[in-house]
Structure 1
Amino acid sequence: MAFRWSGFDVHYGSAPADVDPAREETGGCLVMVDSVAPYQASFSEAMRRRYGKVLARGLPRITRHRPGASRFTLMDPSGNAIIFIQRDEPEDLE
């Protein structure tokens, strides 16, 4: 699977046959953006349209964006993590 959205491309390869998405060890990527809030809002709205609410548990899910936050994580149905990080996030955050 591959998709282009909002100026970036994400490409996935085939997962090994023995991968268990429930273990959430399938893979992931970091996406560096100027501001994470609009991306989190867009994904949350799409999730709300699709599932009737923003999913915070299970797969798929998205972490909540608190004011001032500089990152959020989107977990896809296969257990892949896509972590959106604000470019100017402080280096000593982690």
Structure 2
Amino acid sequence: HTHTHTHTHTHIYIYIYIYIYTYVHIHNTHVHTHTHTHTHIHTHTHTRTHTYIHLYIYLFIVYIYIYLFIYFFLYIYYIFIYLFIYQCTIFQSLREIVMSHL
């Protein structure tokens, strides 16, 4: 169980890294277009990259939320299964003890 936990964490780190990388890349191109010229076409691309940045941020947040949501559900699901099995075994052993004493 601990293995899957660390695995999920590395996944999140990878996504964060990818996100930062794309963000920096877009931001750099955006700064580049902005500083070079102030023509209409360039300002248009400038606003477009800006929208892209917002879109990336939004998608990333949504993605992380979905990911955490699924992870949380799986975690609860595992706990429930574990408890259920565990309780069953406890119940079984208790019944055996009671039966042996009778």
TM-score between both structures, scaled by the size of structure 1 = 0.30
Larger radius of gyration: 2
Q: Which has the higher helix share?
A: 2
TM-score between both structures, scaled by the size of structure 2 = 0.28
Q: Which has the higher strand share?
A: 1
Larger RCO: Structure 1 or Structure 2 (Cα < 8 Å, ≥ 6 residues apart)?
A: 1
